[in-house]
Every structure is written in structure tokens, then in C-alpha cells.
Structure 1
Amino acid sequence: MPAKPLSLRDGLLALAVMAVWGSNFVVIRMGLDDLPPLLFAALRFTFVVFPAILFLKRPPVPWRNLAAYGLFIGAGQFGLLFLAMSGSITPGLASLVIQLQAFFTIGIAAAMTGEKVRPFQIAALLLAASGIGIILSHTDGSTTPLGLALVLSAALSWAIGNIVVRATPGVNMLAYVVWGSIFSAPPLYLMSLIFEGVPAIREGLANADINTAAVIAYQAIGNSLFGYAIWGWLLSRYPAATIAPMSLLVPVFGIAASALWLAEPLQDWKLGVAALVMAGLCLNVLWPRFAAIRGARTPPAA
């Protein structure tokens, strides 16, 4: 697909998706005030499926792919993320750390295909990993080693989900997300029943009000259906190299929303972590583009 710049309208749409995805971490935190984390995640995916599944044809991919996607994204990524954010890590840091899924995706793809990891990818990983090291040295009551481990595990689950999607390129991503979510909610309900128990589930549902419903709707409609529909539409109109760098804005919106709405402190060390992780992500995403431009401008050797 030939390179072309984002139009103003499409650029604003991409920005809106990033704002929704970034602020979603604050919305998750708000929902966890009323609902146990696993039950919350199960309800989210229930309403990703219904009623959207009635209007979307199943994508032409094997059921095993949909099942794997639903399990790793639903029970893996969001189940673990919600558990972590239930008092073990702040929303701002969670929005940043989970972006390490990009490096897990590269590593898994390299292991499966024998694809060589390039030097700039190693440098990018080291930058981001140094930021994680700073978090480990500053763990306190708001961010714990357990919370960090859970979010890293969520990032790994997200990466595996990415690999599953890559096995069937060119499908309608909105339909893929909806049909794959059939396999997300049941294990989350089962885990909620086993680990959170009937009394906690009953209490959570009894405490639910219009704000809880709005939070779940934001998760299902805003974050999943709107976000993936617009993102997939943009990817169908523009090269991935034009659209992919926009995802770097997710932790920017996540950290800003957490600071503004939840008064999450932005200590110097958190800003340092953000700078290191974002630098690693930027290097990973943008270096190939810069290298391609530089190569195109370099005249051939005589």
C-alpha cells in the first residue's frame, strides 16, 4: 500500500481511539471500586459479545483461532490486568507497562519463525527494561512486585493473542473480537466463582448502579467495539507504518488521565520510567521507518 499522510478527519479519529484506549485504565480503576476484578472482566466480555454478535458474521477463521484469541485476550490479558489494578499497580503505570507486549510479540514471533531479532529491537528492549527496573526499585503500597508481575503476564498474554491474529490476516477485526470474546467470558465467570466466591459476586452485583453500568458500557462499546472498529478501518486505508506509531499515545493518555482524574502522583522516577519505556517503544516502532527513508535517499554506490 503506497504511503499517504493521514487526513485531518482520520487523524482525529485515530486520536480519539488513543484517548479512549488510554483513559480506559482510569475507567477500569473506577469499575474495580464496585466489582471484583474477575467478575468485572467477565461482564465486560459478555457485553462485547451481546448484542453485537447478532449483527456480525463469524469471520472465516478456524474456531481454534477464535478460542485461543478469546482465552489469551480475555482471561489472560484483561483478567490479569484487572487483578493487578485491584490495588497492586496504579492505572498510569499499568497503561505504560502493558505496552511491553510489543517486545513479547517480537520475541515469540522470532522463536516461532526463526526470524532474526535486529539490533535496534534489542536496544529498544533494553531501554524499556531499564524503566521496569526503576519500577522494581520503587515499589510501594500503590505499585507492588505482584502487580508488576501480573501486568507483565497480561502483556505476554496480549502478545500471544497478537500472534494468533497474525495467523489469519485480512479478516474483519471487529467481528474477530466479538466472536473471539465468546471464549473470554465463561472462563472468567468460572474463575470468579472459584477465587472470588458467591458472596463477593453477590455483593458486587448488589453494589452495581448506573455508574457501574456506564463503566461496563465504556469497556465493551467504547474500548472494544468503537476502538477496534475504527482502528481496523484505519489499517485498511493506510499503511501499518502510518497508523502503528499512533499507539504510542496510549500510555500518554493513560498517565495523563490517571493524574487528572485519580490524582495519581507523578514523581520524578515515574516520569523517568515513562521516558525510558516510551523511548524504547518509539525506537522499536519508528526506526524501521526512518531507516527506509534514509535508504531511499542514499544514492547507490558507483
Structure 2
Amino acid sequence: MTPRHLALAIGLAAVWGFNFVVMQVGLRHFPPLLYAGLRFAMAAFPALLLVGRPGVPWRWVAGVAATIGVGQFGLLLMGMRAGMPAGLTSLVLQVQALFTVLFAVTLLGERLTARRVAGLGLAFAGLALVAVDFGLAGPAGAFALCVAAAAAWGLGNVVQRRAAPPDSLRFMVWVSALSAPPLLALSLLVEGTPSLSAPAEGWLSLVYVAFVSTLGGFGVWGWLLRRYDASTVAPYTLLVPVFGLSSAALVTGEPLSWVKLVAGALIVCGVLYAGTRRAPAPAEPAPAVRGA
């Protein structure tokens, strides 16, 4: 990646990292499926009235809506509501990078280099460290929901890569529009009649996740995926838990143990190693031409 694109990827990780704290606030006032449905409804309207058609076949829009909109965020918010803390959720969810690479290699035929394998292995050693630590005391069901959300995100990344939308923001508006109805219907079926009588902080959290994280964040994400292989872009999302853990510790007081610090260090090192390319060997100088 160029330095400018690298800075963009890191900034996106910061936005998505803080997003977990914001979602935890929102889940105090809304059930998870309703919260997800309202998030995408707000992201879609009134923006839907201002943009044109998505520019890709509708099957790709529906595919991303099903995998990322309904699958990832529905499962993720259910896991957080079931007991996963914000900072730790941001860490566990990054197993999506592994799913993205696996799906990209098997479905798109992308090349998996030894350097990327080594970097991802180092990063996932950090994820495994936290997973073991959490598994000793945390709810297994909540953990499993977050891993399932990561798998849905990984598949959605590959679908979006295959779609290659010409306008990422317009594409995400339509994805949001197709994600909201099934989420709201599931909420009505599972959670019952919705109540919208939430305090200001609940609605402010929805504003952040709808406009900053969803429209802005996935617009940037899609823009990067159109310029680089999915297996190149995906590892940078492993920086999300670094920002997620630190913001959760600062804002909510979530404990930041040595296990999480070591895991965060492993993740950063793995991302940096996987995301950089080995410099090409210098060319051999041409032999001097001797005069006759």
C-alpha cells in the first residue's frame, strides 16, 4: 500500500475500534436485532433518495446485505448482548481476516504468500491468547456468536471484492437499504414489539454507527478493496482491536490485562509483517563492454 492508503486503513481501524464502545452504549437501550435494523435504516434513508442505482448486479448487493448487514451485525450485536465486552469483542471479531483470506483463496483464486501466512499466524497467536483467557470465565455462546459474525464478515468481504462496485458509498447505501427490512422483521419475530423510547445517548450511538461507521467506514473499506487484493486489505482490520481495547479501557473502564496487551502487540506485529512486501533484490549491474 502507498503511505496515504496505509494511513487511510489505520484511520478506518480507529473508527471501527471505537465503534464497539458506541454499540455497547446503544445496546443498553435497544435489543440487538432492532438496533442493527435501525442502524441500517438510518444509513439508507434519506441517502437512498440522493444516490443512483448501485452500479452492480442486484445479486451482489443482496449478497453483501445478507452476509455483512444481517449476518455479521446481527450475530455480533447478539453476542455483545449475551455478555461479550466491547474491547474483547473488537479483538475476537478480527478472526474475519482469516476467513477473508481463506474465502479469497478458495473462491477468487488469490495468491497466498508465505509472508502473509507468517504475519497472519503471528496475529492469530494473539487472538488465540485472548480466546483462551476469555474461555476460562466468559460465556461460550457469546464467544461463538462473535466468531460466527467474523465468518459472515469474511465471506461478505469476498462478495464485495467480486462485486467491485464503482461507487463504494452508493453501494453501501443500497446494502443498508436491503439489510434493514430482514433485521427489523427478525427483531419483531424474536424480540417482540419494538420500543423507540430511548434516551439521547441511545440515539446518538445510532447516529455514529449509521453515518460514521457504516456509510463512512464501509465506503472507505470498499474503496480499498477495489484497489488491492482482499488478502492484502483484510489484515489491517486486525488493528481494530488495538483501538477497541484502548477506547473500552478509557471510556468504560474495561480491564486491560497483560494478556490483552501481549495479544495486541502480537496482532500489530503480525499486521505490519503481513501488510508489507519484501523489497526486490537489486538488479545485477550489466557487464562492462570492453573495446575490441
Q: TM range, normalised to the smaller chain?
A: 0.7 to 0.9
Is 1:154–2:157 an aligned residue pair? no
Aligned partners of 2:165 and 2:183: how far apart in 1? 29
Relative to 1, partners in 2 of residues 1:44 and 1:170: Cα closer, same or farther, differing over 3 Å? closer
1:214 paired residue among 204, 211, 223: 204
1:6 maps to a residue whose letter is: R
Relative to 1, partners in 2 of residues 1:270 and 1:93: Cα closer, same or farther, differing over 3 Å? same
Q: Larger deviation: 131-140 or 158-167?
A: 131-140
2:90 paired residue among 75, 88, 95: 95
Is 1:104–2:102 an aligned residue pair? no
1:271 paired residue among 256, 261, 278: 261
Relative to 1, partners in 2 of residues 1:185 and 1:155: Cα closer, same or farther, differing over 3 Å? same
Relative to 1, partners in 2 of residues 1:22 and 1:129: Cα closer, same or farther, differing over 3 Å? closer
How far is the alpha carbon of 1:249 from its aligned partner? 4.0
Q: Larger deviation: 26-35 or 118-127?
A: 118-127
Relative to 1, partners in 2 of residues 1:281 and 1:36: Cα closer, same or farther, differing over 3 Å? same
1:148 maps to a residue whose letter is: F
1:298 paired residue among 262, 279, 282: 282
Aligned partners of 1:134 and 1:224: how far apart in 2? 29
Any conservation in 2 of the 1:105–1:159 contact (CA below 8 Å)? yes
1:26 paired residue among 9, 13, 21: 21
2:4 paired residue among 3, 6, 21: 6
Any conservation in 2 of the 1:88–1:142 contact (CA below 8 Å)? no
How far is the alpha carbon of 1:176 from its aligned partner? 0.7
Please, which runs of 5 or more residues in structure 1 have no aligned partner? none
Q: Larger deviation: 138-147 or 163-172?
A: 138-147
What does 1:1-302 align with in structure 2 at a 5 Å threshold?
5-6=3-4, 11=7, 17-139=12-134, 143-169=138-164, 171-198=166-193, 201-202=194-195, 205-206=196-197, 208-229=198-219, 240=228, 244=233, 247=237, 249-286=239-276, 289=277, 291=278, 294-295=279-280, 297-300=281-284
Q: TM-score, normalised by structure 1?
A: 0.82
1:226 maps to a residue whose letter is: G
Q: TM-score, normalised by structure 2?
A: 0.85
How far is the alpha carbon of 1:152 from its aligned partner? 1.6
2:98 maps to a residue whose letter is: F
Secondary structure of 1:185's counterpart equals helix
Aligned residues: 283
How far is the alpha carbon of 1:114 from its aligned partner? 4.3
Relative to 1, partners in 2 of residues 1:234 and 1:140: Cα closer, same or farther, differing over 3 Å? closer
How far is the alpha carbon of 1:138 from its aligned partner? 1.9
How far is the alpha carbon of 1:141 from its aligned partner? 8.9
Aligned partners of 2:159 and 2:238: how far apart in 1? 22
Could you report, residue by residue, the CA deviation over 1:202-259 in whole angstroms, capped at 9, with x for unpaired residues?
3xx23x12221111111111112233445666888xx659x95765543222111100
1:119 maps to a residue whose letter is: A
Could you report, residue by residue, the CA deviation over 1:128-176 in whole angstroms, capped at 9, with x for unpaired residues?
3333332333226974322222222111111111111111225101011
Relative to 1, partners in 2 of residues 1:131 and 1:146: Cα closer, same or farther, differing over 3 Å? farther
Secondary structure of 1:197's counterpart equals coil
Any conservation in 1 of the 2:55–2:165 contact (CA below 8 Å)? no
1:81 maps to a residue whose letter is: L
Relative to 1, partners in 2 of residues 1:20 and 1:122: Cα closer, same or farther, differing over 3 Å? closer
